[in-house]
């Protein structure tokens, strides 16, 4: 009786959660925002979907750096610079994963700076030792700042001399425009050893912009669908193919990102793309080395739109450390029904 009650409760929770998530996915519109994005979809899954927290059971550390459009400004911090660090692990006794992550985003020599500090939780509904569903929640504190001293305004333009050094007469530069706000994210991921399907919704709460205009709930909500899989072949399974796909929607703005990685033993090589449904935005070239507990990866985005003329492409470096080695929250090694890490994460 206890087992059937637990099953009923799990099914009830899943249905309620799916209903709310699908309502968000298909009913939210008229939203505009600029979200941080990465090219390597397997490197920072918890950033887009908190349900991935703890999916590899043992302690996991992910580090990521992205330098996008480095030639739009001068100096070390030119372009868009994004820094990402996360830690997560699964606790088998309570079927739950916990984690935290820090994200920093800086634009054009720190004219615009944004920071996010996030705590994540996921609960695992296990169907059997090969299939499970994880439901995730997270809350984050966000800080953002504009440095108006570096900006130029139209009323600073002299028709003959160009920009002058006087302050813009029509702009109030006395405020440094610091803002902070709290937000929440939800998600779920169904996974086996060979593939996963994830859904998530980010930024569910209202927020204020730099001018104290408050937006309604769901105004900045980012909805996302994630897919990943693996196919191994060869006499000793030394070859593998890893396709990853992510679809994001934020109001009328949409994009789809794909990664296609090939692996031979410890070496990875692949290509990817980013498409915004108006045109192909970039093509990605990827490589990396996976040494079981330690993985390092690099990708370069080749621009295919008009920004390629002055943006300078995008560089991205990722590092993953598995403190306990490759493992799986479905049936962790320490419980001796040994099932290795989900294959789609072994790239």
pLDDT band per the 50, 70, 90 thresholds, residue 311: low
DSSP of 258-282: EEEEEEETTEEEEEEEEE-SSSEEE
Phi, psi of 316 (to 5 degrees): -145, 130
Rounded CA-CA distance 279/281 in Å is 6
pLDDT band per the 50, 70, 90 thresholds, residue 172: low
CA distances from 94 to 12, 191, 330 (A): 19, 19, 13
Looking only at the bridges linking them, the beta strands covering 162-163 and 195-202 are: unpaired
- Coil, helix or strand at residue 94: helix
- The proportion of the chain whose per-residue pLDDT surpasses 70, expressed as a percent, equals 70
pTM assigned to the model: 0.80
**For all residues of the chain together, what is the average pLDDT?**
80
> CB-hemisphere CA count at 13 Å for 89?
14
pLDDT digits (tens, 9 = 90+) for 178-200: 888 899 999 999 998 899 999 99
Mean pLDDT of 110-132: 89
Q: Domain ranges in the chain?
A: 2-345
* CATH number 2.40.160.40 is the correct assignment for the domain at 2-345: yes
- Coil, helix or strand at residue 102: strand
Q: Look-up: residue for tokens 């799986």?
A: 328
- Coil, helix or strand at residue 331: coil
pLDDT digits (tens, 9 = 90+) for 142-160: 988 887 766 666 667 777 7
Burial 9-45 (b: 16+ CB within 10 A, else e): ebeeeeeebeeebeebbeebeebeeebbbbbbbbbbb
Mean pLDDT of 106-115: 82
pLDDT digits (tens, 9 = 90+) for 29-84: 333 446 788 999 988 899 999 999 998 878 999 999 999 877 766 665 677 899 99
Phi, psi of 46 (to 5 degrees): -65, -20
């Amino acid at each position: 009786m206890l087992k059937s009650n637990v099953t009923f409760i799990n099914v009830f929770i899943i249905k309620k959660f799916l209903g709310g998530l699908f309502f968000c996915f298909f009913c939210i519109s008229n939203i505009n925002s600029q979200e941080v994005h990465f090219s390597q979809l397997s490197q920072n899954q918890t950033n887009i979907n908190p349900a991935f927290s703890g999916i590899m059971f043992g302690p996991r550390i992910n580090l990521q750096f992205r330098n996008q459009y480095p030639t739009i400004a001068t100096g070390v911090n030119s372009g868009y610079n994004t820094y990402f660090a996360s830690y997560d692990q699964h606790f088998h006794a309570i079927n739950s994963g916990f984690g935290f992550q820090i994200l920093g985003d800086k634009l054009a020599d720190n004219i615009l700076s944004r920071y996010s500090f996030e705590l994540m939780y996921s609960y695992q509904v296990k169907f059997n030792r090969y299939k499970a569903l994880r439901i995730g929640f997270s809350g984050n504190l966000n800080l953002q700042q504009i440095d108006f001293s570096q900006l130029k305004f139209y009323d600073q333009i002299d028709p003959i001399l160009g920009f002058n050094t006087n302050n813009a007469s029509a702009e109030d530069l006395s405020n440094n425009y610091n803002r902070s706000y709290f937000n929440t994210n939800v998600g779920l991921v169904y996974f086996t050893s060979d593939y996963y399907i994830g859904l998530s919704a980010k930024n569910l709460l209202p927020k204020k912009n730099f001018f104290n205009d408050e937006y309604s709930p769901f105004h900045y909500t980012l909805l996302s669908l994630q897919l990943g899989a693996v196919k191994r072949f060869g006499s000793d399974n030394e070859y593998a193919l890893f396709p990853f796909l992510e679809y994001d929607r934020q109001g009328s703005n949409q994009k789809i990102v794909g990664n296609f990685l090939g692996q031979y033993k410890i070496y990875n090589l692949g290509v990817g793309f980013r498409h915004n449904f108006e045109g192909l935005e970039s093509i990605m070239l990827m490589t990396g080395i996976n040494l079981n507990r330690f993985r390092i990866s690099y990708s370069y985005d080749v621009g295919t739109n008009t920004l390629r003329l002055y943006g300078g492409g995008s560089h991205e470096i990722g590092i993953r450390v598995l403190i306990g080695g490759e493992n799986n929250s479905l049936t962790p090694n320490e419980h001796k029904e040994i099932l290795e890490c989900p294959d789609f994460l072994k790239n």
